[in-house]
């Protein structure tokens, strides 16, 4: 009988540790948007990639920066160096966001649409965060689905670098809205279930999701509601 008894003394501790990790993730995520905003503001006045000129060189630099920094952050996901690298990464992503914000300025209602995209992004984030706590989700199955979705999206992105089709670009943006929303929910759920033990790695994933969500929503709004 004694062998069948379960020790519940660790359950509260485990949940508390997961909640602490999630709070640390949110705090780091909030901090990461400061250099991102600074980078976006700087890029609107001076875009360093514009000096390169060659389209394919810019694409190469962008991909090298994105995946190189993600790799470096993951390698340092348990130490303070990872936090510093995350701040550098978010500043760089802000620089890359500048041209889209500049393009929004060419529309009469561009500033309004930027605000709408930001509000929609915030609404989706809080909705996904709430669903991660309450919804009955098979995290493993969702993770596999997102893994396949990431491959399909990457193929679409690379294909459109050559094709440059406006319709395909909008379809990719729409897919990114769905994919990024689900990725936010999956990452938060993974933290709560103990599948993620690094707040740096979790903050990186959620930041990229929010970044893609905002930029994709803004592109869709400019395409369908922009007033030139």
Provide the domain limits for residue 88. Answer: 16-225
Residue 195 resides in a domain: yes
Q: Pick from 201, 209, 147: which is nearest to 176 by CA?
A: 209
Q: What mean pLDDT comes out for the span 196-213? A: 97
- For position 46, what pLDDT does the model report? 82
- For position 7, what pLDDT does the model report? 43
List, for residues 38-83, the tens digit of each pLDDT value. Answer: 999 998 888 777 777 788 999 999 999 999 999 999 999 999 999 9
Q: What mean pLDDT comes out for the span 192-218? A: 96
- For position 5, what pLDDT does the model report? 42
- For position 1, what pLDDT does the model report? 42
- Given the structure tokens 């929010």, which residue do they identify? 210
Task: Report DSSP state, residue 190.
Answer: H
- For position 2, what pLDDT does the model report? 41
Task: With a cut of 90, say whether residue 126 has pLDDT above it.
Answer: yes
Residue 2 resides in a domain: no
Q: What mean pLDDT comes out for the span 8-22? A: 66
Residue 89 resides in a domain: yes
Task: With a cut of 60, say whether residue 6 has pLDDT above it.
Answer: no
Task: With a cut of 60, say whether residue 9 has pLDDT above it.
Answer: no
As for how many domains the chain has, the answer is 1
What does pTM read for this prediction?
0.91
Q: Are 179 and 124 in contact (CB under 8 A)?
A: no
List, for residues 103-124, the tens digit of each pLDDT value. Answer: 999 999 999 999 999 999 999 9
Dist CA 63 CA 86 (whole Å): 16
| Residue 16's pLDDT band (cuts 50, 70, 90) | confident
| Residue 15's pLDDT band (cuts 50, 70, 90) | low
Q: What mean pLDDT comes out for the span 128-136? A: 91
Residue 120 resides in a domain: yes
CA 86, chain centre distance (Å): 12
135 contacts: CB under 8 Å, gap ≥ 6: 185
Nearest 10 degrees: CA dihedral of 36, 228, 153, 132? 60
Residue 140 resides in a domain: yes
Residue 3 resides in a domain: no
Residue 25 resides in a domain: yes
Q: What is the mean pLDDT of the chain?
A: 91
b/e code 127-144 from CB counts within 10 Å (16+ = b) = ebbebbeeeeeebeebbe
Residue 5 resides in a domain: no
Q: What mean pLDDT comes out for the span 171-198? A: 96
């Amino acid at each position: 009988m004694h062998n069948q008894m379960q020790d519940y003394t660790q359950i509260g501790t485990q949940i508390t540790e997961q909640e602490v990790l999630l709070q640390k993730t949110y705090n780091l995520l909030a901090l990461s948007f400061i250099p991102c905003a600074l980078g976006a503001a700087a890029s609107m006045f001076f875009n360093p990639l514009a000096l390169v000129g060659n389209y394919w060189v810019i694409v190469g630099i962008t991909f090298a920066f994105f995946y190189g920094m993600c790799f470096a952050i993951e390698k340092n996901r348990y130490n303070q160096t990872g936090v510093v690298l995350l701040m550098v990464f978010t500043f760089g992503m802000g620089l890359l966001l500048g041209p889209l914000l500049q393009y929004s300025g060419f529309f009469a209602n561009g500033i309004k649409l930027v605000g709408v995209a930001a509000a929609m992004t915030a609404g989706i984030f809080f909705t996904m965060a709430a669903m991660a706590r309450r919804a009955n989700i098979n995290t493993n199955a969702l993770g596999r689905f997102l893994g396949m979705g990431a491959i399909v999206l990457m193929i679409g992105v690379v294909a459109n670098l050559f094709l440059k089709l406006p319709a395909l670009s909008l379809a990719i943006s729409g897919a990114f809205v769905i994919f990024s929303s689900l990725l936010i929910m999956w990452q938060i759920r993974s933290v709560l279930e103990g599948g993620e033990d690094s707040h740096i790695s979790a903050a990186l994933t959620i930041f990229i999701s929010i970044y893609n969500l905002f930029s994709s929503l803004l592109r869709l709004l400019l395409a369908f509601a922009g007033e030139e």
